[in-house]
Chains A and B, each alone.
Chain A
Amino acid sequence: MTPKNYKFTKEHEWICPDGNKGTVGITDYAQHELGDIVYVDLPSPGAKVAQFKRMCEIESVKAVAEFFAPASGTITEVNQAAIDEPKIINEDPYGKAWLVKIEISDPAELNNLMNSDQYDVYTAKLTKEMKE
């Protein structure tokens, strides 16, 4: 189930906003596309990220993918559990496998993102295109 209170990017990142803070991760669709995840290279706390610009790399057995920040801001925390045991991203991408926490510099940027219904429609379309 796509969480209702999260916001989504076209590149399959999510952010769960809480005032000017936000928790960030990749979506269930993204983990499914990547397959077995074996390595995560996250930015360090204090690093600045910009909306839709490179944030981290996630490597699966099959491929390596770049992920982008869903909002601009400063990294305040990284999820050591996801670094130590990347397969939890496959198991629980919306929950215990969050990747970083961000202090959001411009909350208005969140209006550039999809809500969960829009994201579901978007990924359903991608899945359908792929099957054809």
Chain B
Amino acid sequence: MESSELKKTPLNQMHRKLGAKMMDFAGWDMPVWYTSILEEHKAVRTHAGIFDVSDMGRVWVTGKGAGAFLDKMLTKPPQSLPIGGAQLCLLCFENGGILDDLWVYRVETDKYLIVWNAAKIESKRQWLDKWAGKNPDFRIDDVSAKTVMLAVQGPSVAKLECLKTIADLPRFGHKEAVIGGIKVYAARTGYTGEDGFEIIADIADTVRLWELFTKAGVKPCGLGCRDMLRLEAGMMLCGQDMDSNTNPFEASLGWLVNMEGSDFIGKKALIEIKQKGIKRKLIGFEIQGREIARNGYKIFKSGKEVGVVTSGGNSPMLNKNVGFGYVPVEMADINTSIDIMIRNKPVPAKIVNKKFYKRGG
């Protein structure tokens, strides 16, 4: 944490008014649930839910050299995106360790929007500033404190009357729009495995924007159900499933790295890592019992400790308990039996495809 005082989003009062249970998430005072994690999860999988994601960072990179700069910083070159396109990629250190995963949106030829995780915002900004150097021919504007960001997710959101001006956006598409009389920047992205939008607006419009959705029957959802949704959909959480001590290949995030494209920070190290081959790998598992595996629990194989759980939880869609963890590469095949040590008891589990749930499948 960068400060002992918890940071508050513009919706903090609203969460408290709604009776949310609050928790410290990456130094932010955030809602874990309003009514129940399971009810909120169901709302997102069957209808529509709304999340306050204002704790995430929003940074504009604008100017002649913006694209070249981001090509150097990110593991996939944003300059190859069409205007209106977006991609998920990584911010790596020189040694190939992961600083963050983030979305980069190409808004104009020389104008990009970055949305990154709430954790380590200061270090990430310093990292960009360091590489930008003195007098760069582009600007880095962090607008996080001046804006609010909501994620509206679920199979019904595209049919919401209040979102009709952005319902035409393709997957990962984004644009400036007006919804309910409020000027926003909207993208068809999310972190739940469902259709949905992420919407940025001026801080002055916070309550109006929130109520636009809640009055349309969209259910307020907390971080508890967000974590359950992303795990179920096979999405990883930076700082928990991968960090500066893991490289993209062992984290099963090679698909976020373009080794053929432009040179980026960390590429040299990653070429070497790829040549040498990885020793451990992030896998998905399914518990063969009713216990939940949680972050830090040990993974065993034939009575020997071989790895560690990074994320674990209940999947209501599968009615099973699932998780992610690292094991040696030679044990990482689908259907391999492992044991998870849960409170001094080995609980059998099986390695499975980590996309536990797929929408419409």
Interface residues of A (CB under 8 A from B): 33, 35-36, 38-39, 41, 57, 59, 61-62, 64, 90, 131
19 residue pairs bridging A and B, Cβ less than 8 Å apart: A35-B32, A35-B37, A35-B224, A36-B37, A36-B38, A38-B290, A38-B292, A38-B314, A39-B290, A41-B291, A59-B291, A61-B37, A61-B38, A61-B224, A61-B228, A61-B292, A62-B33, A62-B37, A64-B294
**Cβ of A66 to closest chain B Cβ, rounded Å:** 9
Instruction: Evaluate contact between A36 and B36: CB separation under 8 angstroms.
Output: yes
With A59-B292, A61-B38, A64-B294 given, is the CB distance from A131 to B16 under 8 Å? Answer: yes
Residue among A36, A39, A57 with most chain B CB within 10 A: A36
Apart from A35-B33, A38-B314, A90-B36: 19 A-B pairs, beta carbons within 8 A = A35-B21, A35-B36, A35-B224, A36-B36, A36-B37, A38-B292, A39-B290, A39-B292, A41-B291, A59-B292, A61-B37, A61-B38, A61-B292, A61-B313, A61-B314, A62-B37, A62-B224, A64-B292, A64-B343
Interface string of B211-231 (1 = CB under 8 A from A): 000000000000010001000
Return chain B residues, CB-CB under 8 Å to A64: 292, 294, 343
Within 272-303 of B, Cβ neighbours of A (below 8 Å) are at: 290-292, 294
**Cβ of A113 to closest chain B Cβ, rounded Å:** 27
**Cβ of A106 to closest chain B Cβ, rounded Å:** 29
Task: Give the distance in Å from the alpha carbon of A64 to the alpha carbon of B16 in the complex.
Answer: 24
Return chain B residues, CB-CB under 8 Å to A131: 16
Task: Give the distance in Å from the alpha carbon of A64 to the alpha carbon of B312 in the complex.
Answer: 12
Task: Give the distance in Å from the alpha carbon of A11 to the alpha carbon of B228 in the complex.
Answer: 27
**Cβ of B196 to closest chain A Cβ, rounded Å:** 21
Closest to A87 in B: B38
Task: Give the distance in Å from the alpha carbon of A64 to the alpha carbon of B345 in the complex.
Answer: 15
Closest to A32 in B: B21
Closest to A59 in B: B292
Return chain A residues, CB-CB under 8 Å to B291: 39, 41, 59
Closest to B22 in A: A130
Task: Give the distance in Å from the alpha carbon of A45 to the alpha carbon of B61 in the complex.
Answer: 65
Task: Give the distance in Å from the alpha carbon of A106 to the alpha carbon of B33 in the complex.
Answer: 41
**Cβ of B266 to closest chain A Cβ, rounded Å:** 35
Task: Give the distance in Å from the alpha carbon of A62 to the alpha carbon of B23 in the complex.
Answer: 12
Task: Give the distance in Å from the alpha carbon of A64 to the alpha carbon of B33 in the complex.
Answer: 16
**Cβ of B324 to closest chain A Cβ, rounded Å:** 17
Task: Give the distance in Å from the alpha carbon of A39 to the alpha carbon of B292 in the complex.
Answer: 8
Closest to A62 in B: B224
Task: Give the distance in Å from the alpha carbon of A35 to the alpha carbon of B292 in the complex.
Answer: 15
Task: Give the distance in Å from the alpha carbon of A38 to the alpha carbon of B38 in the complex.
Answer: 10
Closest to B39 in A: A36
Task: Give the distance in Å from the alpha carbon of A64 to the alpha carbon of B292 in the complex.
Answer: 9
Return chain B residues, CB-CB under 8 Å to A36: 36-38
**Cβ of B24 to closest chain A Cβ, rounded Å:** 12
Return chain A residues, CB-CB under 8 Å to B294: 64
Closest to A63 in B: B294
Return chain A residues, CB-CB under 8 Å to B292: 38-39, 59, 61, 64
Give me the 8 closest cross-chain CB pairs, A-B, nearest first.
A36-B38, A61-B37, A39-B290, A62-B224, A61-B314, A36-B37, A36-B36, A38-B314
**Cβ of B318 to closest chain A Cβ, rounded Å:** 13
Return chain A residues, CB-CB under 8 Å to B290: 38-39
**Cβ of B156 to closest chain A Cβ, rounded Å:** 23
**Cβ of B225 to closest chain A Cβ, rounded Å:** 9
Return chain B residues, CB-CB under 8 Å to A41: 291
Residue among B32, B224, B228 with most chain A CB within 10 A: B224
Task: Give the distance in Å from the alpha carbon of A111 to the alpha carbon of B16 in the complex.
Answer: 37
Residue among A38, A57, A64, A90 with most chain B CB within 10 A: A38
Return chain B residues, CB-CB under 8 Å to A90: 36
Task: Give the distance in Å from the alpha carbon of A90 to the alpha carbon of B37 in the complex.
Answer: 13
Task: Give the distance in Å from the alpha carbon of A61 to the alpha carbon of B32 in the complex.
Answer: 11
**Cβ of A41 to closest chain B Cβ, rounded Å:** 8
Task: Give the distance in Å from the alpha carbon of A18 to the alpha carbon of B24 in the complex.
Answer: 42
Interface string of B8-24 (1 = CB under 8 A from A): 00000000100001000
Task: Give the distance in Å from the alpha carbon of A35 to the alpha carbon of B32 in the complex.
Answer: 10
**Cβ of B300 to closest chain A Cβ, rounded Å:** 19
Return chain A residues, CB-CB under 8 Å to B37: 35-36, 61-62
Closest to B32 in A: A62
Return chain B residues, CB-CB under 8 Å to A61: 37-38, 224, 228, 292, 313-314
Closest to A66 in B: B343
Closest to A90 in B: B36
Closest to B37 in A: A61
